[in-house]
Structure 1
Amino acid sequence: MKLNILLFCDKPKKSKNANTILDHISAFEQYSEHNILIYSMLRDIPPKLDLNKFDVIIVHYTLSLLYEYYISSLSKNKLREFNGLKVLFVQDEYRQINKMITEINFINFDILFTCFPSSEIERIYPTSKLPNLVKYNNLTGYVPENLVGISSYERSSERKIDVGYRGRKIPFWLGELAYEKCSIVDQWKKYTANANLIMDISYHEDDRIYGEKWIQFLTSCKTTLGVESGASVMDFTGRLEKIIDFHQKTFPEDSFYDVQKYYLTEHEGKYKLNQISPRCFEAIALKTVLILYEGEYSGVLIPGRHYISLKKDFSNINKVLDAIKDNDFLQQMGERAYNEIVLSSQYSYQSFIKRVDQIVASEFIARDKNKVNSYNYEELLQEVLFSQSKESYVCSNHDPGKINKTVSHSILSLLKRLIIKIKILNSFVQIIQKLLIKSRHL
């Protein structure tokens, strides 16, 4: 059964830091077996867009239900009234969890794809509060296909930087797990000051690297540091975020551990939102060996096999340093991780979309949803295109040969205005011609 699916998102333009988001959205266009329309928007669903011509609506994680800026109350009401299957993807789930549950209930979503580990999902999104919702774990990102194969012949011994890393400072209210993104830099520098290694590591915003320069940087590194992505504090009400943000602005000299002692001790580590970062997949695809803090990494990576494990107290730092200086060891680990993680296709976007397709089709049948009447899909696409709001655009995977179609609203509007002007001009010419003919007979 081939379903007509409308995916709402806020699709960014190709820029320095949007690759993971674009890969995620584009995967639906490229790999779904269903008819997918990607509709990029903010706030309001256009009045002329008839949602009832679709079997399924997906709301992408780029449109947060928590803020009117992304999806307005009017749009939420329209989604609530939609009788087809409703699917939600969420990320950054550590904030205002209670409000998120309220919004999910109001719209009456059927399927939730969450980044919480399977063991935590019921604790965060309990069936008692969301009785009609089925919940599935998924990753924040998968193997970026554009990187596969581009570093096949670059050996560890030929790379100039022994250890590379770019992190960033994260708001303190996210807890110690998030703070590790920057604290690993200070700790690493402290314990490796005399290691005689070429290192390029930083968490300062001015040192951030994006786009092709980031890929060039990573392929010049033998190894790269890493930590689990996510947070160790869950803010159910939004209160912690407000209080700690205010504290950091008022007392900017206070360290994370000061703030943790004041506000976070009772909240730290009660829930797990620890996952593998898309940066790990990037490094593996480029055969750059990962040096990671001990962790679960979504069950994807095996310590000692796919990455060098670093204890958080740095008690095994000498063993880690010996591994960094052994080019043969690094080459073998890089190749092994590449073969088992990248080439296996288990963590590819194609496999991800195949799973989503199966879940959506299964739930559509299980919930006894009615398939919409058969429409000419090309006509439906055109109808959707001409219903667009000012800053939205549509992509479709329905073209022959899976060629993606992207149409800009501004171009469409220009064409429409041009057609109208041509019609007016033709009418004017016809009137002039008639007047000339009449004048000749006078």
Structure 2
Amino acid sequence: MRVLILHEIDDIASARRTSVNHAFCLIKYAPQNEYTLHSVRQPVTSRLRNQCFDAIILDTTFLTWRWAKPKSLRLDRILDEYAFIAKSDAVKIALPQDEYDHTELLDNWLADWKVDLIYSVCHEHSDEFYPRAGKHAAIVEGLTGYIDDADVAMMQRFSVPFRERKIDVGYRAKTLPAYFGRFGRMKSELGDHFRSMMSGRDLKLDISTHPGDVLVGDAWLQFLGNCKFTLGCESGSSLIDPKGKLRECVESRLRRNPSASFEELERACFSGQDMKRAYSAIGPRLLEAAIAGSCQILIPGRYAGALNPGEHYIPVEPDCSNADEVFRQMQDDGANEARINACYRALIGNPKFHYRHFVSDLLAQIRSIGDRKGLAIVGAGLGEAAKEADLREAFTRSVLRVYQNHVDDMKEIGFVPNFLHTLAVVLGRLVLTLGHRIRG
């Protein structure tokens, strides 16, 4: 099977591990196929335009170009340069996230390109998101990230015995802009509220929403493996922004008054619109904390129907007004051990939360859609019965094909050898990043 993966991950070393796992999971779990990886920041060559593909994957990072600035130039350029995608007979699959942001642009984009399958992370709202694209595409439930086999194995090395962990409560969250509404603000506000309400209780807290404190790669797993408890909530927004007008209004106001409060921005840009609906999704952090054996303290939510307050986690109010009760429950080692084990079974024990299952479903969907379209796709499954050495060999061949495609592209546009050397280093990082996870 010949697969094109369109993405925007140029620097593997600084990318979030969840983004790398998500974009390149097919290469790891189905290396028997032939892959072409193309970053949107690379030139579109005749080789890419003329190559015949069985499937084309529009990765999350590629689809974020719908809110690039200025939209009239950046997105139009993308749509023009990649117009050959719309004409391709390949099975086209989209993996969008933040579907409430520039919703109309996303819907039109996927409809115009005749995308066949959309993995929607806010699946219950998919009718609202895809009135055009949904007429052609099948829409199934997806996740923002899944469990990687190697992460589970690596955590066995990184995880510290619970009683020996140095951090009582750990948390990292990004402060989201006002145009994601009050629901979007919960992630950062949770950390601030918890830190304030737990002050003076002799707890070692490592809680930050500062961009400079972001942890990437193995450092993130090491952090979680040293936390007795982790905070969390569902990700999402309580506003829908079809064309990016809310974002434009908020950013324009902030340019004039950088200290404008959320309430001021709400009155000016989305008065009466917030919290009518909550567009929520389960985030990868929940899965990673479960792998780490960290007891989770969560704002109650849906959590893909897998977790219940009390049974799987300690429930905390969004404003942490029940901090006394949370602290009391944190002292019950027996109950917390039971929660950790129950959460592990509910998430890690459920195949639907694993990349292996996701890739298997994705390949089955490609074959099924290909049959309906009359395409002669020679599919390859996960190869679970294959020997580990065979999978490593298939992975090596796959990476070498990716490298050769890049070399051919660079030759076509006349780049100097120094750039090829740099490209080889980048691809080498990809081999190391994905290769060690296969071995895990």
How high is the TM-score relative to the length of structure 2?
A: 0.79
For residue 131 of structure 2, what is the aligned residue in structure 1?
A: 126
Instruction: Describe the superposition over 1:33-85 as per-residue Cα deviations: whole angstroms up to 9, x where unpaired.
Output: 87341322326532233556222222222212525657623333211211232
Three-state SS of the structure 1 residue aligned to 2:168 is strand
User: Aligned in 2, Cα 1:296/1:410: closer, same or farther, shift over 3 Å?
Assistant: closer
Structure 1 CA distance, aligned partners of 2:87 and 2:409?
29
Structure 2 CA distance, aligned partners of 1:161 and 1:247?
39
One-letter amino acid of the counterpart of residue 26, structure 1: F
For residue 330 of structure 1, what is the aligned residue in structure 2?
A: 336
Is the Cα contact below 8 Å between 2:47 and 2:409 reproduced in 1? no
Structure 2 CA distance, aligned partners of 1:200 and 1:285?
19
For residue 296 of structure 1, what is the aligned residue in structure 2?
A: 302
For residue 57 of structure 1, what is the aligned residue in structure 2?
A: 56
One-letter amino acid of the counterpart of residue 129, structure 2: I
Structure 2 CA distance, aligned partners of 1:228 and 1:294?
9
Q: 1:142 aligns with which of 124, 139, 146?
A: 146
Q: 2:254 aligns with which of 240, 248, 257?
A: 248
Structure 2 CA distance, aligned partners of 1:273 and 1:147?
28
Question: For 1:293-372, what aligned pairs fall within 5 Å after superposition?
Answer: 293-366=299-372, 368-371=373-376
For residue 23 of structure 1, what is the aligned residue in structure 2?
A: 21
Structure 1 CA distance, aligned partners of 2:160 and 2:152?
13
One-letter amino acid of the counterpart of residue 371, structure 1: A
What is the CA distance between 1:29 and its match in structure 2? 1.1
Is the Cα contact below 8 Å between 1:11 and 1:40 reproduced in 2? no
Is the Cα contact below 8 Å between 2:40 and 2:62 reproduced in 1? yes
What is the CA distance between 1:178 and its match in structure 2? 1.5
Is the Cα contact below 8 Å between 1:155 and 1:331 reproduced in 2? no
What is the CA distance between 1:272 and its match in structure 2? 3.4
Is the Cα contact below 8 Å between 2:21 and 2:148 reproduced in 1? yes
User: Aligned in 2, Cα 1:12/1:304: closer, same or farther, shift over 3 Å?
Assistant: farther
Instruction: Describe the superposition over 1:259-313 as per-residue Cα deviations: whole angstroms up to 9, x where unpaired.
Output: 2344334221334321111111111111111111121122232322222111224
Question: For 1:40-189, what aligned pairs fall within 5 Å after superposition?
Answer: 40-42=38-40, 45-49=44-48, 51=50, 53-64=52-63, 66=66, 67=68, 69=74, 72-116=78-122, 118-126=123-131, 130-152=134-156, 154-189=160-195
Structure 1 CA distance, aligned partners of 2:84 and 2:139?
23
Structure 2 CA distance, aligned partners of 1:75 and 1:399?
35
Is the Cα contact below 8 Å between 1:76 and 1:107 reproduced in 2? no
One-letter amino acid of the counterpart of residue 80, structure 1: A
User: Aligned in 2, Cα 1:227/1:287: closer, same or farther, shift over 3 Å?
Assistant: same
Is the Cα contact below 8 Å between 2:17 and 2:216 reproduced in 1? no
Q: CA RMSD in A?
A: 2.9
For residue 200 of structure 1, what is the aligned residue in structure 2?
A: 206
Structure 2 CA distance, aligned partners of 1:200 and 1:90?
31
What is the CA distance between 1:409 and its match in structure 2? 6.5
One-letter amino acid of the counterpart of residue 126, structure 1: P
Structure 2 CA distance, aligned partners of 1:161 and 1:333?
18
Count of residue pairs the alignment pairs up: 389
User: Aligned in 2, Cα 1:27/1:98: closer, same or farther, shift over 3 Å?
Assistant: same
User: Aligned in 2, Cα 1:297/1:249: closer, same or farther, shift over 3 Å?
Assistant: farther
For residue 5 of structure 2, what is the aligned residue in structure 1?
A: 7
For residue 399 of structure 2, what is the aligned residue in structure 1?
A: 405
User: Aligned in 2, Cα 1:369/1:52: closer, same or farther, shift over 3 Å?
Assistant: farther
Instruction: Describe the superposition over 1:2-25 as per-residue Cα deviations: whole angstroms up to 9, x where unpaired.
Output: x43322223433223431121112
What is the CA distance between 1:222 and its match in structure 2? 0.6
Structure 1 CA distance, aligned partners of 2:266 and 2:411?
57
What is the CA distance between 1:150 and its match in structure 2? 4.4
Three-state SS of the structure 2 residue aligned to 1:336 is helix
For residue 435 of structure 1, what is the aligned residue in structure 2?
A: none
Moved more, 314-323 or 134-143: 314-323
Three-state SS of the structure 1 residue aligned to 2:82 is helix
Which consecutive residues of structure 1, in runs of 5 or more, have no partner in the other structure? Answer: 375-396, 418-442
Structure 2 CA distance, aligned partners of 1:85 and 1:412?
25
Is the Cα contact below 8 Å between 1:91 and 1:114 reproduced in 2? yes
One-letter amino acid of the counterpart of residue 348, structure 2: V
Structure 1 CA distance, aligned partners of 2:215 and 2:56?
36
One-letter amino acid of the counterpart of residue 248, structure 2: K
Moved more, 166-175 or 401-410: 401-410
Question: For 1:367-406, what aligned pairs fall within 5 Å after superposition?
Answer: 368-371=373-376, 400-403=393-396, 404-406=398-400
Structure 2 CA distance, aligned partners of 1:398 and 1:76?
32
How high is the TM-score relative to the length of structure 1?
A: 0.79
% identical equivalent positions: 23
Structure 2 CA distance, aligned partners of 1:201 and 1:33?
39
Is the Cα contact below 8 Å between 2:49 and 2:84 reproduced in 1? no
User: Aligned in 2, Cα 1:401/1:62: closer, same or farther, shift over 3 Å?
Assistant: same
